[in-house]
Amino acid sequence: MSRARSAANDGEFGGTGTGSAGVVADLDGPPEFARLVAHPLRWRLLRELVQSDRAVWELTERLRKPQNLVSYHLRQLRDGGLVTARRSAADGRDAYYSIDLVSCEQQLWATGGSLHPALAATAAELTPYRPRGPGGRRVLFLCTGNSARSQIAEALVSRVTGGRVEAASAGSHPKPLHPNAVRVMRRRGIDISGNRTKHLDEFMSQRFDAVITLCDRVREVCPEFPSQPALVHWSMPDPAGAGPTNQASYPAFEHTAEELETRIRFLVPLLTERSTRDETRRSSHVEQ
């Protein structure tokens, strides 16, 4: 084997990396994902957006940083594909920023693979989430009419967790269940046709670990719950407004269901992680 070929193999299979020019070029600097998340302020922004969609003014207040600085780093995260923005349906002057956890997941695995192939993974190789730890978690989804978004979210949480997380849904101005919501869930093997729509006042006295608003307008009028749940906002447009007929708006309902499936996939581990942590704290307190 030639000396050059041997050096190239050293770089590819975990050697010193001093071989071919191609291998050396790969080692000139970390991948863009690593550079983006390594910045302390950008990391804090991502951590905030994991908890909830937020407007720039909220991020400015929570991080106690100037708005122009926060906006600059949000732009960096958007350009890197880690954050998205959506104009508020309640106040068109505001935009809600969301973390793209699927993109983060993919870029994280790709970053590992750039260091060593054994550290790479594909979606098919990832271990499916299985709920664990004690149950008892309760989450309430809110939107305006309780006719589509919140009903879909409630049904998906129940399916994903096998009932280990109890989900409910309600609206500030309930209206009849939308037939397209029934249709998109039926395509997923879930029948919500018998669900009733409910006013959020029905749940005010109940305990929830998290209350998630799916509508920008509902977020503006969401009351304070006595049980002091975590308040989370997912800025999602009303799919019913996407077309003049049910047929025309159906693609928007499908998109809404897909987005909720993704968000819920990342929500459930947070809920069960908190459940396990709370149980550990209670056990430690009893032992003491």
Residues recognised as catalytic: 143, 215, 222
C-alpha to C-alpha distance for 221 and 17, rounded to whole angstroms: 58
Mapping DSSP onto H, E and C, the string for the chain reads CCHHHHHHHHHHCCCCCCCCHHHHHHCCCCCHHHHHHHCHHHHHHHHHHHHCCEEHHHHHHHHCCCHHHHHHHHHHHHHCCCEEEEECCCCCCCEEEEECHHHHHHHHHHHHHHHCHHHCCCHHHCCCCCCCCCCCEEEEEEECCCCCHHHHHHHHHHHHHCCCEEEEEEECCCCCCCHHHHHHHHCCCCCCCCCCCCEHHHHCCCCCCEEEECCHHHHHHCCCCCCCCEEEECCCCCHHHHCCCHHHHHHHHHHHHHHHHHHHHHHHHHHHHHHHHHHHHHHHHHHC
200-217 burial: b if 16+ Cβ within 10 Å, else e:
beebeeeebbbbbbbbbb
Q: Output the CA–CA distances (angstroms, integers) from residue 33 to 36, 39, 142, 206, in the order listed.
A: 5, 11, 34, 42
Q: What is the dihedral of CA 156, 159, 165, 167, to 10 degrees?
A: 40
